[in-house]
Structure 1
Amino acid sequence: MHDDTSDRREREAAARIASLIDDAEVEAEIDGMAAELTAIYRERIPVYDLIARDEIERNTRAVLEMVLRQVRSDSPQINTVELTELARLWSTQQIPLELVAHSIQVGARTLAKVMRERATARGIGPEVIDDLQDIMWHWATSYSAVINTVLQEDAVSLAARRSTFLRRLVEGEFAASALPARLAEHGLRPDVHYSVACADHDDPRFGSDIRAAVRLRCAVRDIPVVDAVVDAHYLALLPHIPDDLAVDALVAVGPAELPANAGSSYRRARHTLDIAARFGRTGIVELADLGALPLLAIDTDTADHLADVHLASLRARGVAGTEIIDTVTAFLRNNCRVDETATALFLHRNTVRNRVGRFTDITGLDLDRTDDLVLTWWLLGRR
């Protein structure tokens, strides 16, 4: 909080800054400063050279006029309402607000240098000059804070728009005639094939670093990745999936489709995600990567009945039956190799052979027969 002394010093410093701007030539001075700052912005800040010079100069002049009104007022405090409205205008003009915040810092340094030179020329003492610079830096910091607030508003708004857009796209709600315009709003093209990526947004392993990697690595020249959170799932349209993209969380992807068929890719990705998550898979996963695991996702009354028929006798044996089931499950996971199963379970190889034999005796499922082997794999995999 400011005390009375600080407020008085701010008012005096503001008055000094105002006195350093010649009232008789103020319009010409502001125009000259706006033109000079615009040239500096376009030279030092990337992307600004792509924005119309007149647009930047007009907005820069608006900020300078705001500063001038402040220093001439009785209470030279930041007018956050006016600056917020101006920042929102810049946003609608497609001027990157993160660069606006940077340009304010550049402008503050330039104006501070001008004020310091003029103050020195008029014989103003160094302590007063320090006060001038302090208040100008205070203003610049406050301006940047306002800009960042609007930037955050825009980010939230954009995320909401993208979320709604992606949900409607994968649900096929857009009419064919309206789709091209909707795609263009988000930088997408109707003639490019995109794979829909899907991940559990609540997965603690799925952090901002993975999201950033997907955005960076899966974009191609002039074709960005468009992503958002939709109903607790992260969705993204990927124009490209590099072979060496590695992530520590589970990201399921569907086949590449035109945007008009994005729903088909999404449904495949969700199906893949559900199965892969059930079996603890991670990385970039397509349905084809799961081998026969999708067969285990079939959950029917017939499957439950078969499990009861074949496994009920083992379950009735309590711990002994569970040991047999666990051993046979590991046996199948190790491609029916006794030695590898024994190593994995810390058992003697004869114990493994004995339990596999007991499984056949009790269930009637002979693992040397293909049909029984496949059925056993399916029943135990579902378990």
Structure 2
Amino acid sequence: MEVGAGDRFLRLLIARSEDPVLLEATVRAARSRSELVAALPEEETRRHVRALVGGVLAALEDGGPSGEVLAAAERLGSDRARQGVPVAAFLDGFQAGRAHLVRTLVAEGRRTGVPDAALLDGVTRIDEITTALVHRMVHAHRITELEMARTAREARVQMLRQLLHGEAVPVLAPLDAAGAYHCVVSDVSDPAVAARLETELTAAGPGLCGLVDGRFAALAARLPAPVPAGPLLVAAPPARPADVGPMYGLGRRALRAGAAAGLTGLRELADLALLTVTEAEPEFGGLLAAALLPGLDPDEPFHRELAETGLAYLDHGGRIEPTAAALHVHGNTVKYRIRRLRELTGRPLYDPSDGAAVARTANWWWALHRWLAAAAT
């Protein structure tokens, strides 16, 4: 396009736009202001500087940036996002290159006699054009970052789902195929609560969290200490990612049993073994309740108090004071209720001298637990 005789700044820019010395100096200026830009291949910076100089020149000739020039700016912003260059570092490099280019052109214009008014007008027009280009670059950079974050996170969560469902898939970062992770399950479906739990579970070490089967689940290298309060979480013993499928199944079963028992907070899967097994066999529990607790009436509130006390007594190893503290009653009240329970059932609740004490205690615990569950319905 022919340049008007009066537009000496534009004539100067056209003359210098292909100057390899100016191009290289502008490239060095851009790379010197940003370590992350400098870490990219030099040809990558050179390619973008050449494209932007050409874009500014075309915009000056056309009275504003064309769609093609704006698209080039968007590609630059998107490329930098994919290269992992933050927008601030990216703009530092861009502005440094622009400033060097403008300073050089102004100095050259003054040397060759371009009027100051023409130089000022030219710099102002360049600023207007580069501002429009920056807006496009920043927008494209942020859009690409969001798309990459969604894509990367979804890929990681999909891997988590596949591992927990027992599928053989490649184990990628942030997990280590040779590492060991606690499989943590919950009934949390609220995204805000899930985000808080993810922060707590990954603060102690690497892990991967997400919604699996509609509920929050995680693979965590270490469990948080102290144990966080809040909704019930069940944590399995550490296992390699390829072996967590069965742990997930057991954890879900334990979670259902723990929720039915009114438990909250983080619980070890092994600690819920008896509760999980007995919860899965309600008929057996009913048989034990009928055999061991025939004298208790579920419609009698005092009998329900006796059963609750008996269950707490077993949970605390047959010790009076811890049982009383858990029930918020006096120790003598516990002694009286245990005595009445024995009178009504005709047999002792806890007898450490019994050769089958463990099995009998487990049967008592199961019977009381099932009796109370049935009485509550």
Q: Same fold judged by TM-score > 0.5?
A: yes
- Is 1:159–2:153 an aligned residue pair? yes
- Is 1:102–2:88 an aligned residue pair? yes
Superposed CA offset, 1:45-101 (max 9, x none): 3xx56543333543455455555555554444887755555555556xx511xx241
Task: Give the Cα–Cα distance (whole angstroms) in 2 for the partners of residues 157 and 169 of structure 1.
Answer: 18
Q: Secondary structure at the match of 2:183?
A: strand
Deviation at 1:273, TM superposition (A): 4.5
Task: Give the Cα–Cα distance (whole angstroms) in 2 for the partners of residues 264 and 60 of structure 1.
Answer: 55
- Is 1:23–2:14 an aligned residue pair? yes
Deviation at 1:150, TM superposition (A): 1.5
The residue aligned with 1:362 is 344
2:249 counterpart (263, 267, 271):
267
The residue aligned with 1:3 is none
Larger Rg: 2
Which amino acid is the alignment partner of residue 267 of structure 1? G
Q: Secondary structure at the match of 1:198?
A: strand
Task: Give the Cα–Cα distance (whole angstroms) in 2 for the partners of residues 81 and 244 of structure 1.
Answer: 51
Indicate how the Cα distance of structure 1 residues 321 and 272 shifts in structure 2: closer, same or farther if over 3 A, else same.
Answer: closer
The residue aligned with 1:320 is 302
Indicate how the Cα distance of structure 1 residues 144 and 360 shifts in structure 2: closer, same or farther if over 3 A, else same.
Answer: same
Task: Give the Cα–Cα distance (whole angstroms) in 2 for the partners of residues 321 and 80 of structure 1.
Answer: 80
- Root mean square deviation, CA, Å: 4.2
The residue aligned with 1:288 is 270
Q: How many residues align?
A: 344
Deviation at 1:259, TM superposition (A): 4.1
What does 1:76-95 align with in structure 2 at a 5 Å threshold?
76=65, 83-84=73-74, 95=83
Superposed CA offset, 1:230-275 (max 9, x none): 322344444x427857544555444444444342444344445545
8 Å CA contact 2:27–2:97 kept in 1: the answer is no
Deviation at 1:315, TM superposition (A): 3.8
The residue aligned with 2:222 is 241
The residue aligned with 1:229 is 211
Superposed CA offset, 1:262-294 (max 9, x none): 4244434444554555553424x5423547444
Deviation at 1:157, TM superposition (A): 1.5
Deviation at 1:208, TM superposition (A): 3.4
The residue aligned with 2:198 is 211
Task: Give the Cα–Cα distance (whole angstroms) in 2 for the partners of residues 316 and 262 of structure 1.
Answer: 41
8 Å CA contact 2:236–2:270 kept in 1: the answer is no
8 Å CA contact 2:179–2:241 kept in 1: the answer is yes
Identity of aligned residues (%): 20
Indicate how the Cα distance of structure 1 residues 253 and 313 shifts in structure 2: closer, same or farther if over 3 A, else same.
Answer: same
Deviation at 1:151, TM superposition (A): 1.0
Indicate how the Cα distance of structure 1 residues 301 and 275 shifts in structure 2: closer, same or farther if over 3 A, else same.
Answer: closer
8 Å CA contact 2:65–2:129 kept in 1: the answer is no
Superposed CA offset, 1:140-191 (max 9, x none): 35422321111111111222222323323333443xxxx5xx335x46554x
The TM-score normalised by the length of structure 1 is 0.69
8 Å CA contact 1:272–1:286 kept in 2: the answer is no
The residue aligned with 1:376 is 364
- Is 1:303–2:291 an aligned residue pair? no
Task: Give the Cα–Cα distance (whole angstroms) in 2 for the partners of residues 277 and 327 of structure 1.
Answer: 20
8 Å CA contact 1:310–1:363 kept in 2: the answer is yes
Gaps of 5+ in 2: 1-6, 352-356
The TM-score normalised by the length of structure 2 is 0.70
1:38 counterpart (12, 31, 36):
31
Task: Give the Cα–Cα distance (whole angstroms) in 2 for the partners of residues 350 and 306 of structure 1.
Answer: 28
Which amino acid is the alignment partner of residue 366 of structure 2? W
Which amino acid is the alignment partner of residue 160 of structure 2? L
Deviation at 1:127, TM superposition (A): 10
Superposed CA offset, 1:105-130 (max 9, x none): 21343256347645696635989978
Q: Secondary structure at the match of 1:303?
A: helix
Task: Give the Cα–Cα distance (whole angstroms) in 1 for the partners of residues 364 and 152 of structure 2.
Answer: 51
